[in-house]
Amino acid sequence: MKKLLLLGLMLVGTYNVKAQQFPTFSAEDINGNQHSVQDYLAEGKTVLLDISATWCAPCWNFHNAHTLEKIYETYGPGGSDEVVVIFVEGDPWTPENNIYGEGTSINYSPPRPPIGDWTIGVPYPIINDDNLINAVGLTGFPSLYRICPDGTYAQIPNSQMGDIQNIINSMNVCGTLEGASNHAKLDSEDIRVCVANGDAAASASFTNYGTNAITTATFNIKNSANEVVATKEYTGSVAMYGSATVTFDDAAYATGEYTVEIASINGEVPFAEASKNINVIEAAETSINAVVKVYTDYYPGEISWAIKDSNGTTVANGGPYQPGNAEFGGGGADANTTKTHYVVLPEAIDCYSVVMYDEFGDGWIYGSTPHGIEIFSHDGTVSIFQKLVGSLDFGDELTTNSAFKTNGILGNETFETAKFSIYPNPTNGILNFATQEEVNVSIVDLTGKVVFTASKINDGDSINLSSLQAGMYIAKIKGTSTERIEKIVIK
């Protein structure tokens, strides 16, 4: 992935083995728990210590490769419990709230804002410490240290941090790690149905955190009474840290709580319980005109989206957006912002899926703002569907089936017809207004682009749209206390 190429910006060090003991280090994490490196070593643990800064782009790239999470799940408390993983924000000029993606490092000129929220999805402790970098003689961020139970330590070269096996090999110097076998974790989303008790093809993704390949596995979906309502057998080969997705056959699901579980791996009971609670959600209903808000990440030139009907036909879409001038098209006015589209869906009752695309294949995860897509009612007040991806690297495409459904009519009107009208419609270009209050008007084409605006329209006023091409448009009319959406046809 291109963002991982930025690892080349890190300081390239040598494999510097320290004969002396690792400095005494004891600190409280951001959740108030105390940690002592020396205590962990006394328990026979190997410690893996990541010292980073919240404003450091190469640190963020390493963080989002989820390398330390994988090691934690296999060799740490999530697995065989041989390794302790600790993240230290080691920049003395960085306040603790930067770890959550908030505030800025005001002691720098210019100030250095945090790249994102470093706590999302992190299972290991996070510590804010200003003194450790001096104790170890750190010269750059990020710096990854392996500390053996006898107290000797080494800095793992930055050039080797992009390959998880290099890090594991470094820890094996302390003594061969055993790890866990037949060990996996689920990443299953809620099941969405178009109608209550309707059929759906549920799916579940899993990641292999075991030291052996997963060739067979049994997956179950259970209802609140612990009854199995769907089963799927997986066959294939998923290597260590690989992932796969299984899709269950269609089954009827009532709305409510369910559990997805891995019942067996390679014919054995899984190393640890692998289950996840999910909900079955009936798709929310909206009119055929809706507001789509896209929350972009740092690379807007890569992202796009589509709404597809029940036949898989694209009925609305948007993006990619304007790339910035930073490396790989990062930044710019469209980065980490909200892009709003007004869409008109077919005049039919249907159930729609929402698809998010990333041209580079690494999801929408870069930057400190929320990233994803949200669909609102015609007036933008009621959220019908939301998909925020957080730190999820979904690759080049993420589809949500049964995202929402339509009732086949235009949005509910908050103007009373007797108090407001526009005519003629269809029109050759001239639109006349009958209104009991002053209104502002925006004309939007079917791609969501505003093509005409007018303000302070009063009763009897007209607007001229003859410069627009023939076709269908949406008129957004807003007054002091009321608003309305009209479909306009220009002949």
170-218 pLDDT, tens per residue?
999 999 999 999 999 998 788 888 887 777 878 888 999 999 999 999 9
C-alpha–C-alpha distance, residues 480 and 420, integer Å: 14
For the chain, the farthest-separated pair of C-alpha atoms sits apart, in whole angstroms, at: 88
Which residue type occupies 325?
N
Q: Coil, strand or helix: which one is 115?
A: coil
Average pLDDT over residues 139-156: 96
- Picking from 290, 291, 321, 285, the residue whose alpha carbon sits closest to that of residue 303 is 321
* H or E element in which residue 314 lies: strand 314-318
- Picking from 476, 478, 474, 477, the residue whose alpha carbon sits closest to that of residue 488 is 474
Identify whether the C-beta of residue 341 lies closer than 8 Å to the C-beta of residue 349.
no
Identify whether the C-beta of residue 397 lies closer than 8 Å to the C-beta of residue 357.
yes
C-alpha–C-alpha distance, residues 331 and 311, integer Å: 36
Q: Is the pLDDT of residue 360 over 70?
A: yes
C-alpha–C-alpha distance, residues 86 and 127, integer Å: 8
Would you state the torsion angle of the CA atoms of residues 448, 451, 454, 459, taken in this order, to the nearest 10 degrees?
Answer: -80
Average pLDDT over residues 155-163: 94
Tell me the β-bridge partners of 439: 457, 479
CB-count exposure of residue 63 (10 Å: 0-12, 13-18, 19+) = buried
Identify whether the C-beta of residue 154 lies closer than 8 Å to the C-beta of residue 16.
yes
Judge if 184-282 and 420-490 fold alike in CATH terms: yes
Q: Tens of pLDDT along 340-353?
A: 988 888 878 899 99
Residue 16 is predicted with a pLDDT of 46
Q: Is the pLDDT of residue 4 over 70?
A: no
Identify whether the C-beta of residue 358 lies closer than 8 Å to the C-beta of residue 393.
no
Helix then strand then coil, % of the chain, to nearest 5: 15, 40, 45
- Picking from 165, 206, 171, 156, the residue whose alpha carbon sits closest to that of residue 185 is 206
**CATH class belonging to 285-406:** mainly beta
Structure tokens at 55: 């404003």
Q: Is the pLDDT of residue 415 over 50?
A: no
* H or E element in which residue 38 lies: helix 37-42
Q: How confident is the model at residue 326 (pLDDT cuts 50, 70, 90)?
A: confident
- Picking from 429, 433, 422, the residue whose alpha carbon sits closest to that of residue 464 is 429
- CA 110, distance to chain mean position in Å, is 29
The gap between the terminal CA atoms of the chain, to the nearest Å, is 49
Most confident of the ranges 16-30, 45-59, 195-209, 411-425? 45-59
Percent of the chain residues topping a pLDDT of 90: 62
CB-count exposure of residue 405 (10 Å: 0-12, 13-18, 19+) = buried
Q: Is the pLDDT of residue 22 over 60?
A: yes
Q: Is the pLDDT of residue 15 over 50?
A: no
- SS3 readout for 422-490: EECCCECCEEEEEECCCEEEEEECCCCCEEEEEEEECCCCEEECCCCCCEEEEEEEEECCCEEEEEEEE
C-alpha–C-alpha distance, residues 281 and 403, integer Å: 9
Structure tokens at 431: 């639109």
Q: Is the pLDDT of residue 373 over 90?
A: yes
Q: Tens of pLDDT along 226-270?
A: 999 999 999 999 999 999 989 898 888 888 999 999 999 999 999
Q: How confident is the model at residue 419 (pLDDT cuts 50, 70, 90)?
A: low
DSSP state of 119: T
CATH number of 420-490: 2.60.40.3080
> Which carries the bigger pLDDT value, residue 401 or residue 219?
219
* Helices and strands, number each (H, E), in the chain: 6, 34
C-alpha–C-alpha distance, residues 164 and 159, integer Å: 12
Q: Is the pLDDT of residue 169 over 70?
A: yes
Q: Tens of pLDDT along 277-322?
A: 999 988 998 888 888 999 999 999 999 999 999 899 999 999 999 9
Sorted by sequence, the CB contacts under 8 Å of residue 107 that are 6+ apart come out as 93
Q: Is the pLDDT of residue 275 over 60?
A: yes
- Beta strands (DSSP E) in 319-409 are 338-344, 349-358, 372-376, 383-388, 397-407
Q: Is the pLDDT of residue 11 over 50?
A: no
Average pLDDT over residues 102-111: 86
Structure tokens at 122: 């992190």
CATH number of 184-282: 2.60.40.2550
Q: How confident is the model at residue 481 (pLDDT cuts 50, 70, 90)?
A: low
Q: In the predicted model, what is the mean pLDDT of the chain?
A: 88
Q: How many CB atoms lie within 10 A of CB 283?
A: 22
Tell me the β-bridge partners of 185: 207
C-alpha–C-alpha distance, residues 173 and 168, integer Å: 9
Q: Where are the domains of the chain?
A: 26-173, 184-282, 285-406, 420-490
CATH number of 26-173: 3.40.30.10
